[in-house]
Amino acid sequence: MSVSDKLRPTAVNTILGEVRAAQSAGRTLVSLMRGEPDLPTPRHIVEAATRALADGRTGYPDNRGEPRLRDAVAAKLARDNGLTYDPATEILVTTGATFGIYAALTALLQEGDEVLLPDPVYDAYQSPIALAGARARAVRAPIEDGRFVLSGDALEASVTPRSRILLLNTPWNPVGTVFREAEVRAISDFVIRHDLTLISDEIYETIVYDGHRHVSPASLSSELRSRTILVNSLSKTYAMTGWRAGYCAAPAAIIDAMFLVLQQSSRGPATFIQDAAAVALTASQECVAAMRDEYTSRRSRVLSRLGDLPRVRVLAPEGGFFAMVDARATGIPSNDLRRRLMNDHGVVVVHGSAYGEGGEGTLRVSFASGGETLTKGLERLREGLASL
Ligand SMILES: Cc1ncc(COP(=O)(O)O)c(C=O)c1O
């Protein structure tokens, strides 16, 4: 089997193929599908990049990450997460969280290992697990009291002697749960009890609502910190998806192993991008608060437009910019429902089953785009869901 035989396209890319085919046949579609903020990157960050370019910061970067950016990451982790990491040995700058996840999995896993993965979850975790010769093991996460939960019982039922890693995403794409401190503590006890490593993807940490607060697992105890790889990026927080700037923090031995993977592949983001990323992390965070306010108001629009429909229920996200619509009562498979909404009503969302069996019967609605797109998309979605 070749390496690429182990990979599969992400759900969004598969749906994009269908969208393009429909558009070239003359259809006009509104997309509430992608996790791509429509907001511009804040001006001071763009200016920092152009300044760095003009200053000739175009050579190879330090492959661990430019020292200035690693210092900025360490300062950010202390400021926002109550975490102390040594920028010289415990931080790695990566090409987005995507590369951080890839490097972590590749560095840690051996053939035949298992990775515990909440189900449903961000579907792009699957391929790098397979690339590393390991297997994903689903931990079924049901909807309880209007939110998806990851229970201790479900974790215990899924773990086996081959389990090496638990991959957690909080705030959690696609379902919108923000793990509460007690939940993170229970997960932490589980990780320690079974001698696992935790990969903690915290890319949506700043996008939280209704008083929910992001708890970074490594901050709970030194024992958990010693077995956690924190993965984050600037993509969502600063509307910088195309900049490909991310970072990881972990004990030095793990960072060293990940650094080897990085040296032999991406070699990190461009030097001038790293300069701008350092500015983003250390300058005033007012732009982050303004974006959160904008997403808060979009979230309210989603909840009010879809909140009173018969047979479907919209779950209020605690974080991130996706809302899950629970359409299980219709009995229609989510991929059929998605196609029906696209073909008959001109609106594109992602079927919940793309994120695992636990997502069957649900739809992911993105409010990463606002304005007219959101207004029109919600109108079409409302019409389509009401007609079920
Ligand atoms: C949960 C999660 N992790 C990681 C990523 C990838 O982020 P990046 O742009 O930093 O590679 C995404 C992007 O949608 C995501 O939703």
Q: Which residues pair with 200 in a beta bridge?
A: 168, 230
- Secondary structure (3-state) at 118: strand
Query: Which residue minimizes the CA distance to atom 16 of ligand 1?
Result: 173
Residues constituting the chain? 388
Q: Which domains are delineated in the chain?
A: 3-41+287-386 (3.90.1150.10), 43-282 (3.40.640.10)
Q: Give dist(CA 386, CA 388) in Å, integer.
A: 6
**What are the phi and psi torsion angles at 92 (to 5°)?**
-130, 130
Q: Which two tokens stand for residue 147?
A: 């939110």
pLDDT for the residue 1: 76
| Residues in Cβ contact with 311 at an 8 Å cutoff, skipping those fewer than 6 apart | 327, 329, 330, 388
Q: Compute the mean pLDDT over every residue in the chain, rounded to the nearest whole number.
A: 97
| Residues in Cβ contact with 193 at an 8 Å cutoff, skipping those fewer than 6 apart | none
Sign of torsion, CA 62 64 65 69? negative
CA of 35, closest atom in ligand 1: 14
Pocket test for ligand 1, best of 95, 168, 173 (most atoms within 8 A of CB): 173
Q: Which two tokens stand for residue 4?
A: 């690429």
Q: Give dist(CA 76, CA 138) in Å, integer.
A: 32
Distance 232 CA to ligand 1 centre (A): 8
pTM, full prediction: 0.98
Find out whether the beta carbon of 122 lies less than 6 Å from any atom of ligand 1.
yes
Find out whether the beta carbon of 246 lies less than 6 Å from any atom of ligand 1.
yes
Q: Give dist(CA 122, CA 168) in Å, integer.
A: 10
What's the one-letter identity of residue 125?
Answer: Y
Q: Give dist(CA 11, CA 31) in Å, integer.
A: 14
Distance 98 CA to ligand 1 centre (A): 6
The answer to whether residues 366 and 357 touch, using CB atoms and an 8 Å cutoff, is no
Beta pairing, strands 347-348 & 30-31: parallel
Alpha carbon 153 to chain centroid, angstroms:
24
Burial of 140 (0-12, 13-18, 19+ CB in 10 A): middle
> What are the E-state strand segments in the chain?
30-31, 91-94, 114-119, 135-140, 143-144, 147-148, 163-169, 197-201, 228-233, 246-249, 313-315, 322-326, 347-348, 350-351, 362-366
Pocket test for ligand 1, best of 16, 204, 229, 236 (most atoms within 8 A of CB): 236
- Secondary structure (3-state) at 10: coil
Beta pairing, strands 350-351 & 163-169: unpaired
pLDDT in tens for each of the 388 residues of the chain? 787 888 889 999 999 999 999 999 999 999 999 999 999 999 999 999 999 999 999 999 999 999 999 999 999 999 999 999 999 999 999 999 999 999 999 999 999 999 999 999 999 999 999 999 999 999 999 999 999 999 999 999 999 999 999 999 999 999 999 999 999 999 999 999 999 999 999 999 999 999 999 999 999 999 999 999 999 999 999 999 999 999 999 999 999 999 999 999 999 999 999 999 999 999 999 999 999 999 999 999 999 999 999 999 999 999 999 999 999 999 999 999 999 999 999 999 999 999 999 999 999 999 999 999 999 999 999 999 999 9
Find out whether the beta carbon of 235 lies less than 6 Å from any atom of ligand 1.
yes
The answer to whether residues 287 and 240 touch, using CB atoms and an 8 Å cutoff, is no
What's the one-letter identity of residue 338?
Answer: R
pLDDT tens, position by position, 248-282: 999 999 999 999 999 999 999 999 999 999 999 99
Q: Which two tokens stand for residue 231?
A: 């993965």
What's the one-letter identity of residue 130?
Answer: A
Q: Give dist(CA 112, CA 219) in Å, integer.
A: 31
Find out whether the beta carbon of 171 lies less than 6 Å from any atom of ligand 1.
no
* Locus of tokens 């899924």: 158
Where does residue 306 fall: left (phi above 0), alpha (psi -120 to 50 degrees), or beta otherwise?
alpha
